Structures are given as C-alpha cells and as structure tokens.
Amino acid sequence: MWINQVCTECQLTKKAVEYYEKQGLISPEVGGNGYREYGEKEISTLQEIAVLRKLGVGISDIRTILASTNKAAALGKLEYLMELSIQKASAQQACLRRLAESYDIAAAREYISAGIDELFTIKEKLVHAFPGTYGMYLSIHFGPFLNERIDSSDKEEAYSRIVDYLDHVGNLNLPRELGEFLENCFAEMHKTDMEKMNSAMQSALDNVDEYIADNKGILEEYIQVRTSDEYKETPAYKMQQLLLAFQRSSGYYDIFLPNLKILSKSYCEYMKKLAMANEVFMERYPQTKGLIT
C-alpha cells in the first residue's frame, strides 16, 4: 500500500506519516523506485498513533506506549496529567472572566501568584520525577496539600527548593531494578484507586482508635507479615529498602518533606496527625517500631 491510501485509511496527512517515520515509530520497506510500501503492521501502528495524537498525546509518550507492555499505566498517567492541565486551564479561564469584568491587572497578578502556576508545577513535576506511576501516586498523595497560596518569601524559597529537588530527582538514574519495580508496582492501580486510598488514609487518621478497632484483624495479620523474617526475604521488602535508601540519598526526607511543611500548612497538620496516630499505634503494637515512616 502506498502513502496516499494509508493517509485516507488512518486519517493522517503525508507529512505526518513522514514525520512519524523520521521519528522511528514506523519503518516501511522502500522499493527500488524509492516508493514506500506500507504493510498491515505499519497501518495498525499508524492508526494507533493517529488515535493517540488526536487525544493530545505527544510523540515521545506515544513511543513509550507503543513499546510498553503495560499501556494502561502509561495512559493513566497521561490522563492524570491531562486532568491537571484542565484544572489549570479552568483557573486561567476564571481569571480571564474576572479580567473581562473589571480589567484590574494588579488584582489578576495577586490571583495568579496565589497559585495558578506554582502549585500545578509541583504536581506535574512530581509525576515526572519518579518512574512509572509512582510519581503520579505521590502527586495524588501530596496534591491535596498543594492548594494553598504562596504568600511569603519563606514559601517562595521552599517552592524553589522543591522544584530544584524534583528536577534533580528526575535527572538521577536510580537503580535499574528499583525502576523496573516501581514501574510494575503501581501498574494495576488506577488514579481513582489512589484517590480512594488517600481519602481512606485521611479518615483513618481522623479517628485512629476507631480505625484500629475496626480493622484489628487485618492490621494484626499485616503486622505479622511485615515483621516476619520471611518477609525480609521477599523482593518487596528489598525494593522497599532500596526505595527508602534512594529517597534518603536524594533528599526526599531532608529537602522535599521539610520544604513541603513550610509550603503547606495543611501538610504540616497532616504530619502532626500522622505522628500522633503513629504514637497510638506504637503503644498498641510496639513491635512495629521502625516500620512506618
């Protein structure tokens, strides 16, 4: 099949197809006359590309998806990023509306610096900084704390430190096995699952005693597994140690979390609650010492 027919079948332009070839997404055979012959394989790839492009997926992400065995995870990540950009656009739209009503540039500056850009930036960078969907998990986890204003120079500094940290982490190449593990670990988990997890965690923290009472059986079982010697032989345990070590060395505990506490009052309160809950927990189950971070 030659290019013109390919274009009609895949709803693409010649230039687009040509570009995808240059990007190495397809590699049709070239005949003696220089004409390209597109086979079924190319067609289906191109159809896939066409769909993804129309959904706003960029070439490099498409490359990832085409090569990926776990497309759901990659797509989930992209969907989450899209949601972030939609939220940002909505905030921008709201600001535009206010400007249309009364053209007050100073007020708009206030409104914008109140967080249109910066807080979304952190959420986005979180997604990219860590491999697989782990970054997305963190973004969803910390997202609820990232809705406050940056209204002091302290917070501005904290913000730029966090951004630097995230860029730094994104450029690190963490141990290969850890990377692969993280890519698989959150693979089946979807955005909504992550959100549910978080709200469940929140409500558990709000009434620790009740939570412990309600889930006594499960908890004790879990603790037994986690404190058992067999668990320390599992890959999961090793990976967890690897992850911990990585985060420690990258500055997760020394840079990221402390600055997040400066940036977000609500996160600060969350941490207090968490610490209290931890105390209650340790009192009840002293054997879990050192288990929870």
Partner DNA sequence: AGGACACTAACGGCGCGTCAGAGTCA
Partner DNA sequence: ATGACTCTGACGCGCCGTTAGTGTCC
Which residues lie near DNA (CB under 7 A)? Answer: 2-5, 13-16, 18-19, 30, 33-36, 53, 58-60
Give dist(CA 114, CA 108) in Å, integer.
10
Provide, rounded to whole angstroms, the least separation between the CB of residue 233 and a copy of itself: 34
3-state DSSP helix/strand/coil % of the chain, to nearest 5: 75, 0, 25
**Which amino acid makes up residue 130?**
F
Contact call for residues 111 and 98 (beta carbons, < 8 A): yes
Interface with a copy of itself, residue 48, by CB under 8 A:
yes
- SS3 per residue for 190-245: CHHHHHHHHHHHHHHHHCHHHHHHHCHHHHHHHHHHHHCCCHHHCHHHHHHHHHHH
Among residues 140, 152, 154, 172, which one has the least CA distance to residue 252?
172
* Residue whose CB is less far from DNA, 151 or 167: 167
| Exposed/middle/buried for residue 113 (C-beta within 10 Å: 0-12, 13-18, 19+) | middle
Q: Which does 89 bind (CB under 5 to 8 A by kind): DNA, a copy of itself, none?
A: a copy of itself
Rank residues 122 and 169 by Cβ distance to a copy of itself and give the closer one: 122
Binding segment (CB under 8 A) for a copy of itself, from list 15-23, 53-61, 193-201, 233-241: 53-61
Residue 185's contacts (CB-CB under 8 Å, 6 or more residues apart) are 132, 134, 239
Per CB under 8 A, 245 contacts a copy of itself? no
Q: Choose the stretch contacting a copy of itself; rule: CB under 8 A; options: 81-89, 150-158, 211-219, 272-280.
A: 81-89
Helix, coil or strand: residue 36: strand
- Contacted entry of DNA, a copy of itself, none for residue 36, CB cut-off 5 to 8 Å set by kind: DNA
Minimum gap (Å) between residue 172 Cβ and a copy of itself: 26
- Rounded CA separation 147/158 (Å): 15
Near a copy of itself by CB under 8 A: residue from 13, 23, 27, 85: 85
Residue 18's binding partner among a copy of itself, DNA, none (Cβ under 5 to 8 angstroms by kind) is DNA
Shortest distance, position 247 Cβ to DNA, whole Å: 26
Binding site for a copy of itself (CB under 8 A): 11, 44, 47-48, 50-51, 54-57, 71-72, 75-76, 78-79, 82-83, 85-86, 89-90, 92-93, 95-97, 99-101, 103, 105, 108-109, 112-113, 116-117, 190
